[in-house]
């Protein structure tokens, strides 16, 4: 039994739209709103909360990720600079490792 009332202020355009949607479905505007609220459901609210929590976690992780990327970029830049200074050193290093590996 319906005994509670909810008063909702909306624009005339929104009211016309609700009425039109309700008429298209063959229900009253009140019933249409009830069905819409039920269709929205608690799971949508839980999903929104979960998304908000995940978003907060990601935002908190961004500074650490940036720092890690900056360190990786610096290491790559140093390696590139070393190769440019001594282009054959890398090849010698690989050959030395190969020789050591085969000697095992």
**Confidence band of 40 (pLDDT split at 50, 70, 90):** confident
**Confidence band of 104 (pLDDT split at 50, 70, 90):** low
Residues 6+ apart with CB under 8 A from 10: 18
Q: How far apart are the first and last CA of the chain?
A: 85
- Please write the tens of the pLDDT for every residue from 51-71: 889 999 999 999 999 999 999
- Enter the tokens of residue 96: 């030395």
Alpha helices per DSSP H over the chain:
12-25, 29-85, 89-103
Tell me the three state secondary structure of residue 27: coil
In a domain, 3, yes or no: no
22, 32 Cβ separation under 8 angstroms: yes
In a domain, 22, yes or no: yes
> Is 0.85 topped by the overall pTM?
no
In a domain, 24, yes or no: yes
Please give the pLDDT value at position 90: 62
Domain that holds residue 67: 12-103
Q: Structurally, how many domains does the chain consist of?
A: 1
Pick the more confident residue, 27 or 87: 27
- Please write the tens of the pLDDT for every residue from 74-91: 999 998 888 788 767 666
Please give the pLDDT value at position 91: 67
In a domain, 83, yes or no: yes
In a domain, 5, yes or no: no
In a domain, 56, yes or no: yes
């Amino acid at each position: 039994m319906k005994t509670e009332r909810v008063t909702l202020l909306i624009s005339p355009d929104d009211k016309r739209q609700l009425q039109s949607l309700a008429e298209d479905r063959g229900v009253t505007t009140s019933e249409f709103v009830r069905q819409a609220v039920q269709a929205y459901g608690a799971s949508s609210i839980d999903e929104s909360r979960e998304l908000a929590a995940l978003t907060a976690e990601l935002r908190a992780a961004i500074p650490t990720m940036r720092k890690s990327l900056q360190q990786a970029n610096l290491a790559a830049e140093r390696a590139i600079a070393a190769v440019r200074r001594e282009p054959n050193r890398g090849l010698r290093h690989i050959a030395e490792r190969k020789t050591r590996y085969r000697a095992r």
